[in-house]
Structure 1
Amino acid sequence: MNILELDQGNTRAKWRLIDTSAQVADPVVLARGAFAPGPWWEAGVMPPAWGEFSPQRVRVANVAGAAVERSIQSRVQQLLGVQAEFARVARECGGVRCAYQDESRLGVDRWLAVLAAFRRRPAPALVVDCGSAVTLDMLGGEGGHLGGYIVPGLGLMRRALYSDTDAVKVAPPDSPPASLDPGCSTQDAVDRGLLVMVLGAVERVYDDLAHRCALSGYANPRLLFCGGDGEMLAPLCDRPGEWAEDLVMEGLALTNP
């Protein structure tokens, strides 16, 4: 079966088409892509791969609110003739127990990423999703979601500096900084400073989780990065981590099997 999976964030959306007919743990990815920021569902045409592979199901992770959910549902029905299936946070799923007292308040993207991390290996992990906001979720060894943290993403912090200061108005860099050494220009100081802020949070939380693991007899936790800025941040982190591009979409197979 061909399945279209959508990860709708606050700023942009990405998608992949998978083939699950082989009945193996990891599906075959047939095609993937991302939409420019904005209401992609208002575009006149769909990505050619959607027509080429004719998905029989559509699974969606949406954090952009009810109005966007309705728009996606309508557009998917119009384009593909199927009902989109939206992931929801549950008290427990895939061996993971939600830490939130009111699970409906947890972002579904965070939940899906944690589920996928535990499915990959049922062991402690810190899951860092680097999008409009950076979320850090702690996962215990027995499938207990331990809660997490939310901080502004790189773009959000840059825009705050630009709008609320007079002299610190710098554009995003064309490429990641080659160094995290102290900047000797305003541009370098901002570019590197934002990274140091996010990485400092990641490393602090990782060390806290590693300490908890040691007290409980577990090995050091894994560190998984996903989200738009995750690929850039992972190799800059002083703790051993990995870039898991599809982590949120992998979780859809658990909430919407």
Structure 2
Amino acid sequence: MTFLAVDVGNTRLKWTLYEHAAPGARVLAHGAEFLEQIDRLAEGAWADLPPPQSMLGCIVAGQAVKHRVQEQMEIWDVEPRWVVATDAEAGLTNGYDFPSRLGADRWVAMIGGRHRLLSRGHARPMLLVMVGTAVTVEAVSTEGRFLGGLILPGHGIMLRALESGTAGLHVPTGDVCDFPTNTSDGLTSGGTYAIAGACERMYQSLFRQCSAEPLCLMTGGAGWKMLPAMTRPFELVESLIFDGLLVIAEQRQAFMDSAL
């Protein structure tokens, strides 16, 4: 029973077609499009795919983009379904003040990370960092409760803010180094270490809260840029949102089957 997972971020739409909806399912096809190009999916990348029997996605890009994506899916007889954060799902409890306002991508990635952690047979706290247009730093307790998370601007937003707010400052690409001696390196290093410092602060808070060493996971398109600057060993898992969508889809299907 083929399953389509869709992750619509602020910049790109990523998709993967699986053989069925379960963690570890075989990948049949996958791809990505910038949001400006998603209107060509039906005639392009999706045109020759075997029709999915079910679909689940998460989206942070807004209703207009969601409508455009669903228009492209009209080539198949499949119901578009989108994750919204709730009080609890798939073994994760939501500690947000208003649970439904938590970003779907954050919620799904935490579920994927929690499943990965438990599959190793030992419960422990989890620190999850997503590095994209924005950066989020999530803390999950040993028992699977989302305790809270930080939201920071990503590298690009930081640099554009400095360009627009500082007279005469133009930002070429620099290197990350301990002691920058030019403006480009200073800006690149400053943004990188600002993110790394926020992650370290959350790590320490989570360690104190749970009295156990957290598992540190990182995901997102720019995650590989951050890894060398981190003060703790992080595991880079690019598929974490898709892993979460597979877990959610499997458990929802199991609930429906048990209700029949």
- SS of the equivalent of 2:128 reads strand
Equivalent residue number for residue 20 of structure 2: 20
Q: Provide the aligned length of Structure 1 versus Structure 2.
A: 245
Pair 1:51-2:48 in alignment: yes
Equivalent pairs: percent with the same residue? 33
Task: Measure the CA separation in 1 of the matches of 2:151 and 2:134.
Answer: 7
Deviations along 1:162-209, whole A, 9 cap, x unmatched? 111123211346xxx3x4222222111111111111111111111211
- TM, length-normalised to structure 2: 0.86
Tell me which residue corresponds to 1:113: 109
Give the 3-state SS of the residue equivalent to 2:34 in structure 1.
coil
Q: Which runs of 4+ in 1 moved over 6 A?
A: none
Indicate the residue corresponding to 2:201 in structure 1. Answer: 204
Q: Contact 1:117–1:127 at 8 Å: present in 2 too? A: yes
Q: Is contact 2:90-2:247 (8 Å) kept?
A: yes
Aligned residues of 1:93 and 1:254 also touching (Cα < 8 A): no
In the alignment, the residues of structure 1 paired with residue 66 and residue 248 of structure 2 have an alpha-carbon distance, to the nearest angstrom, of: 17
- Contact (CA 8 Å) 2:16, 2:29: kept in 1 or not? yes
TM alignment of 1:48-127, pairs within 5 A: 51-77=48-74, 79-122=75-118, 123-127=124-128
In structure 1, C-alpha distance between the alignment counterparts of 2:130 and 2:173, rounded to whole Å: 20
Task: Output the CA distance in 2 between the equivalents of 1:36 and 1:184.
Answer: 35
Ranges in structure 2 where 5+ consecutive residues have no aligned partner: 119-123, 251-260
Structure 1 residues 119 and 62 mapped into 2: Cα distance closer, same or farther (>3 Å)?
same
Cα contact 1:2–1:19 (8 A) shared by 2? yes
Aligned counterpart in structure 2 of residue 233 of structure 1, from 207, 226, 231: 226
CA distance in 1, matches of 2:196, 2:168: 25
- Pair 1:31 & 2:29 matched: yes
Residues 172 and 15 from structure 1, CA distance in 2 versus in 1: closer, same or farther, beyond 3 angstroms?
farther
Farther off after superposition, 150-159 or 68-77: 68-77
CA RMSD of aligned residues (A): 2.0
TM-score (norm 1): 0.87
Give the distance between the partners of 1:200 and 1:101, measured in 2 at CA. 25
Task: Indicate the larger mover: 5-14 or 135-144.
Answer: 5-14
Relative to structure 1, the CA distance from residue 41 to residue 171 in structure 2 (aligned partners, 3 Å threshold; closer, same or farther) is farther
Cross-structure match for 2:161: 160
Secondary structure class of the residue paired with 2:44 = coil
Other structure's SS at 1:150 match: strand
Residue 44 of structure 1 deviates from its aligned partner by 6.8
